[in-house]
Amino acid sequence: MIPAPADRVLVDCAVYDGVGDGVTTDRGIWIDRTGEIRAVGTSDDVLSEARGATVVDMAGAYVMPGLTNMHVHLGLGLPGGMAEAVQRANLAELVLLMADSARQTLHSGVTTVRLVGETRYADFALRKAIDAGAVDGPRIYTAGHALCCTGGHGWDADALEADGADGFRRAVRQQLRAGADLIKVCISGGIAGEHEQIDTPQLTDGEMAAVLEIAHDWGRKVTAHAGPADTIVRAVELGLDCVEHGYELTDDLTRVMAERGVWYVPTITVSRCEQFFIDSGVPGWMMDRALSAGPRHWESLQHALRNGVPIALGSDMPPHAPYDETTATVRELEFMVEAGMPVADALRAATVRPAEWLGAADRIGTIQAGRQADLIALRDDPTRGVSALRTLHLVMKAGRVYRDDTGLTAPRGRR
């Protein structure tokens, strides 16, 4: 991390602000000592306001809001060697493992993450350390432990087991007590559970209703790991806020989701990331299940796109993980566009739309006065194609530079 001066002005930026569809050239961005954006305008206008600030010439670089990844496990432990490493780690080792993933995530241009299942409450300690500036990492919103029934999806990884309505009420309250920003519940089977199938229903209506009741009473949203349409329909009718994966969505279901404002985080990469599974040493049964789910998963995404379901970016793979000569985060966006999402919508799905779901649109997700200076710089224009994100060379969070490949922000004498 490069320490930030009192105030700085980025000049000669080509800005995609997350509000409009295009890029505006010759923009200046005034960032104050707190890491907040004070003003955005022409370079000359901003310079005339920010007298005495350090000037950083961005040399025409494309600047856009930092990315938000809405489906992240910093302590990911897939079946096989990854799970064994996490399970063998003591709490200190686990936090260090997660801190390393957090640092790499931030360097990949992801300045905010939504954690949807960690273990031993290590995520809360890491969030506190990042907020205090002791550790480099993205801004964290976390669900704490995911919740599942006894033997349900994730029971042997990060999920907390419960049974019956009262059991799930208690489990929700335990996450709220720890400081959870949202609640994650597993309502069906999935790819990584050996003794289940994707379409295995795992919660009763009474259990789902209990989770939703307590979370909503406390002002928290609920997102659900879910595969089959019939299980998701029941949860949507009960008031679910968001669906993760949705491997088997239907046209009718996505129409209902759109009408009720239920969000979708497709994680389309997880059913087409064969090399990642090979490199991670996952067992054959998991790889076969994931890849065989791919065609139906793709149809689910297309149903959601066609019917106007609100969609946010989430990779499930580590945000920084190498994938087709880029990162899992960028590849997820490329897949979304390949499935039919307009480029402008894809960019919003990675910036302002997640901020809306998180209730943080007044702080992050756009380049506007009053927002945090979470910025990334690219060589290419992202509004012409999301693959421009492959040209990322600078990452800033709250006004501090965490990556600068070309030395744009270095003091003049050190360039």
Asked if 183 and 143 count as a contact pair (C-beta separation under 8 A), the reply is yes
Give the Cα separation of 241 and 223 in Å (integer): 6
In the prediction, which pLDDT does 5 show?
57
Residues 276 and 288 in one domain: yes
pTM: 0.97
Residues 76 and 47 in one domain: no
Residues 374 and 323 in one domain: no
In the prediction, which pLDDT does 414 show?
34
For 289, list phi and psi in degrees, rounded to 5: -65, -40
| Residues in the chain, pLDDT under 50 | 413-415
Instruction: Tell me which of 357, 383, 405 is where a domain ends.
Output: 357
Residues 149 and 218 in one domain: yes
Output the domain CATH number for residue 62.
Answer: 2.30.40.10
Q: Classify the phi-psi angles of 64: left when phi > 0, otherwise alpha if psi is within -120 to 50, otherwise beta.
A: beta
Q: Strands, DSSP E only, in 122-273?
A: 139-142, 147-149, 160-162, 183-186, 222-228, 242-248, 263-265
Strand partners, 160: 147
Residues 309 and 381 in one domain: no
Output the domain CATH number for residue 81.
Answer: 3.20.20.140
In a domain, 1, yes or no: no
Residue type, 257: M
In the prediction, which pLDDT does 299 show?
98
Query: What residues contact residue 18 under an 8 Å CB cut-off, 6+ apart?
Result: 64, 65, 347, 348, 351, 352, 365, 366, 367
Residues 56 and 205 in one domain: no
Residues 308 and 383 in one domain: no
Looking at the structure of the chain, the number of domains it has is 2
In a domain, 2, yes or no: no
In the prediction, which pLDDT does 261 show?
98
Question: For 289-305, how does the pLDDT look when each residue is reduced to its tens digit (9 = 90+)?
Answer: 999 999 999 999 999 99
Residues 283 and 392 in one domain: no
Query: What residues contact residue 166 under an 8 Å CB cut-off, 6+ apart?
Result: 210
In the prediction, which pLDDT does 415 show?
30
Alpha helix locations (H) across 18-120? Answer: 43-49, 81-88, 91-107
In a domain, 229, yes or no: yes
Question: For 115-149, how does the pLDDT look when each residue is reduced to its tens digit (9 = 90+)?
Answer: 999 999 999 999 999 999 999 999 999 999 999 99
Longest Cα separation, the chain: 66
**What residues make up the domain containing 20?**
8-66+366-414
In a domain, 219, yes or no: yes
Residues 52 and 174 in one domain: no
Residues 244 and 308 in one domain: yes
- From first CA to last CA, the distance across the chain in angstroms is 16
Residues 210 and 152 in one domain: yes
